[in-house]
Amino acid sequence: MWTRLLQRLLILGLMLLGVSLLAFLVPYVSGGDPVRTILMSRVRDLAVDPAAVEAMRIHLGLDRPLPVQYGAWLWQALHGDLGYSFASGRPVALEIGRALGVSITLALTALGIAAAVAIPLGTLAATRPGGTVDSATTLMVQTFVATPEYWLAPMGILVFALHLGWLPSAGWTSWTALVLPATVLSLRPMAYFTQVTRAAMMDVLQAPYITAARSRGLSMRQTVMRHGLRNGSLPVVTFFALWLAGLLGGSVVIEVIFAIPGMGRLLYEAVVNRDVPMLQGGFVSIVALSILINTVADMLYVALNPAVRSGHAH
Amino acid sequence: MRIDNPSQGVAASALLPMQPRHAAALRLWRFLSGRHWTFRTGVVILVALVTTLILAPWIVPHDPAVQNLMARLSAPSAEHWLGTDHLGRDLFSRLLVGGRFTVTIAMVTVLLSFTVGTLIGVVAGRGAGGVLDEITMRVIDVLISIPDVVVAIFLVAIFGPGYATLIASLTVIGWTPFARLARGLTLAINAQGYIQAAEVLGCSRSFIILRHVIPNIIRPIAAVSFLRFGHKLITVGALSFLGLGVQPPAADWALMLADAQPYVERLPILMIAPGLAIFVAALSVTWIGHGLEIEARDGDSGDE
């Protein structure tokens, strides 16, 4: 287990180094002189004075060799300094911190809804495979997976906000504003959680200790509650984390549609505004967080599951 | 335990040598009957969808790009079956051609991910426990957790939208689930007698992989590729919806959805129709993938 963790951390570090290098090179790859870009974004004038460009280049240290610049950039990034947004002029790290809180709230709410529906439903479906509940669940899962959220969300706004007036159509001011986006966002993870729970429960229900519990005279319901659920919901832990990582940046469409100031919208607006520091900071932090959360989840899963821990089931 | 019996189809066409079309229909019937209704429906929808998308430029009642500002936002009528959009373009015609880009990009992405992922997974699985396998698995562990939409947005921001950017950015992450699955399946058959026999006989590494491993693990992977296809359709659509995928004035389902937003109260069909198109397309491949998955599982382990 420890060698695995070490290997993983090593790859993780190398990967982050690669991603940060990629992000660092953005202004150079996307064409144009970065100094001109910065100046133009500040003075909002296409014809900038060449002397000013050179002065700026030296002032910002952009006349140094690239590896030196990268080292300096990385050093600052590691100390929480991701530069200043072209668009708002505020520190990128500050804006990311704020957006991250919003995205985590949204993602956790959506995943909470998903797990609350999926675990009972998947369990129920597994107790009678091929039954009516099971078939209906499968159909539901397939429908949710195939529904584009950029279709469901505007339709939801149309019905619940514009026609019925129950919920706000956009914004991030009250908890009611959270209901519609979180529900729409929860459907896909709900579908996957249900499948995972069902599969895990099917395995668990065939285990000898379930037969033993049943032959001790426990009803199916008691057996599932006492023995099944604890073991059957274990894989959901991993999937929960995987989805949390995915939703932090992956909920771009929902955040844009509902005007939610989270990570996804931050990244989207950075692209639209050609806000290079924001794009770099946003991309690196989303990737870093996704990888970290996922690594922690995998380790948690290994720690919780004795079979994997001892290296038998691998 | 259900295994396709190829001799059935062969026998049917041998009996009817003068009617090859009939034999093909018979074979298709054999293929579809006895399977779950969702699988059959999925196949029918997918065939109809692909045919429509290919033939679309020739069968549209109106030119999907022609604007008619006098007849903007008109309700469904005999002239415009589904009405017109905010620029007076015929919605039905735009719907017929609107899946071409998305379906093409998603299909190429899945095929590439499938090929790359399967090869990497099989090679890793054949050398299980080795250094190469360890490195590959740890790289997959890390890559698989990065949201592909985020990578796509980042790369589109740098290189601009386009076929190559979209396909590349979705494949960079997209190959990992295939590799993980292919490796697992390879591990399961490594110990099989026929593999060991081939090793003892001195067959080369690539021969064993191509001739013995891949044909035996391909079915579950094919099933997954249909499921991924549905997922990619929605992802590509999401990027187009944000203005980072297919560019206007092209007729595209997700773009139509984005365009319809200001007018949805006045003419809901502008939003209902293209969304339904994406949904039905994604659902059909999901159904096919699910059917194939069950079949591959039942075929592999008999009585599970």
C-beta neighbour count of B11 within 10 angstroms: 12
**% of chain B surpassing 70 pLDDT:** 91
* CB nearest to A148's CB, from B38, B237, B244: B237
- Alpha-carbon gap: A294 to the closest alpha carbon of chain B (Å): 6
Contact: B244, A271; criterion CB under 8 Å: yes
Say yes or no: A87 contacts chain B, CB-CB below 8 A.
no
Contact: B142, A7; criterion CB under 8 Å: no
- Position B190 pLDDT exceeds 70: yes
Least confident window among A2-16, A92-106, A181-195, B71-85: B71-85
- Position B20 pLDDT exceeds 70: no
Largest interatomic CA distance in chain B: 78
Compute, in degrees rounded to 10, the torsion defined by CA atoms A142, A144, A148, A151: 130
Q: Calculate the average pLDDT of chain B.
A: 82
- Alpha-carbon gap: B279 to the closest alpha carbon of chain A (Å): 5
Contact: A148, B138; criterion CB under 8 Å: no
- Alpha-carbon gap: A226 to the closest alpha carbon of chain B (Å): 25
- CB proximity under 8 Å: A 124-153 to B: 138-139, 142-143, 145-152
B90: β partners? B84
Query: B-chain residues within 8 Å CB-CB of A295?
Result: 141-142, 145
Query: A-chain residues within 8 Å CB-CB of B242?
Result: 252-253, 256, 268
- Alpha-carbon gap: B20 to the closest alpha carbon of chain A (Å): 36
Give A32's pLDDT tier (boundaries 50, 70, 90): low
From CA B128, how far away is CA B136, in angstroms rounded? 10
Closest CA to A114 of A243, A300, A254, A8: A243
Contact: A250, B242; criterion CB under 8 Å: no
Nearest CA in chain B to A14: B139
Query: A-chain residues within 8 Å CB-CB of B290?
Result: 138, 142
Q: Where are the domains of chain B?
A: 35-57+82-298
Interface predicted TM-score of the whole assembly (ipTM), two decimals? 0.83
How does pLDDT run across B238-291, given as a tens digit for each residue? 999 988 888 877 888 988 888 888 887 778 888 888 999 999 999 999 999 988
- Tokens 């990027």 locate to B239
Max mean pLDDT among B55-69, B105-119, B152-166 falls in: B105-119
- Alpha-carbon gap: A197 to the closest alpha carbon of chain B (Å): 17
From CA A88, how far away is CA A100, in angstroms rounded? 17
* Residue in A19, A29, A145, A151 to test binding to B, most B beta-carbons within 10 Å: A151
- CB proximity under 8 Å: A 148-177 to B: 148-152, 154-155, 158, 162
Which pLDDT belongs to residue A1? Answer: 64
How does pLDDT run across A288-312, given as a tens digit for each residue? 888 888 888 777 777 776 555 444 4
pTM for the full predicted model: 0.84
Closest CA to B151 of A231, A279, A62: A279
- In degrees rounded to 5, what are phi and psi of residue A191? -60, -45
Say yes or no: A81 contacts chain B, CB-CB below 8 A.
no
- b/e for B177-216, b at 16 or more Cβ within 10 A? bbbbbbbebbbeeeeeeebeebeeeeeeeeebbeebbbeb
Q: Report helix, strand or coil for A10.
A: helix
Nearest CA in chain B to A159: B265
What are the structural domains of chain A? Answer: 2-92 (no CATH), 93-309 (1.10.3720.10)
What's the mean pLDDT in B160-189? 90
Nearest CA in chain A to B143: A291
Q: What is the 3-state secondary structure (H, E, C) of chain B?
A: CCCCCHHHHHHHHHHCCCCHHHHHHHHHHHHHCCCCHHHHHHHHHHHHHHHHHHHHHHHCCCCCCCCCHHHCCCCCCCCCCCCECCCCCEHHHHHHHCCHHHHHHHHHHHHHHHHHHHHHHHHHHHCCCCHHHHHHHHHHHHHCCCCHHHHHHHHHHHHCCCHHHHHHHHHHHHHHHHHHHHHHHHHHHHCCHHHHHHHHCCCCHHHHHHHHHHHHHHHHHHHHHHHHHHHHHHHHHHHHHCCCCCCCCCCCHHHHHHHHHHHCCCCCHHHHHHHHHHHHHHHHHHHHHHHHHHHHHHHHHCCC
- CB proximity under 8 Å: A 222-251 to B: 242, 245-250
Which pLDDT belongs to residue B11? Answer: 46
A114: which residues sit within 8 A by CB, 6+ positions away? A186, A187, A189, A190, A193, A243
Q: Report helix, strand or coil for A84.
A: strand
Which pLDDT belongs to residue A42? Answer: 66
Give A111's pLDDT tier (boundaries 50, 70, 90): very high
Query: Terminal CA-to-CA distance of chain B, rounded, Å?
Result: 10
How does pLDDT run across B97-153, given as a tens digit for each residue? 888 888 999 999 999 999 999 999 999 988 877 888 888 888 888 888 888 888 998
Say yes or no: A11 contacts chain B, CB-CB below 8 A.
yes
What CATH fold (topology level) applies to the domain B35-57+82-298? MetI-like fold (1.10.3720)
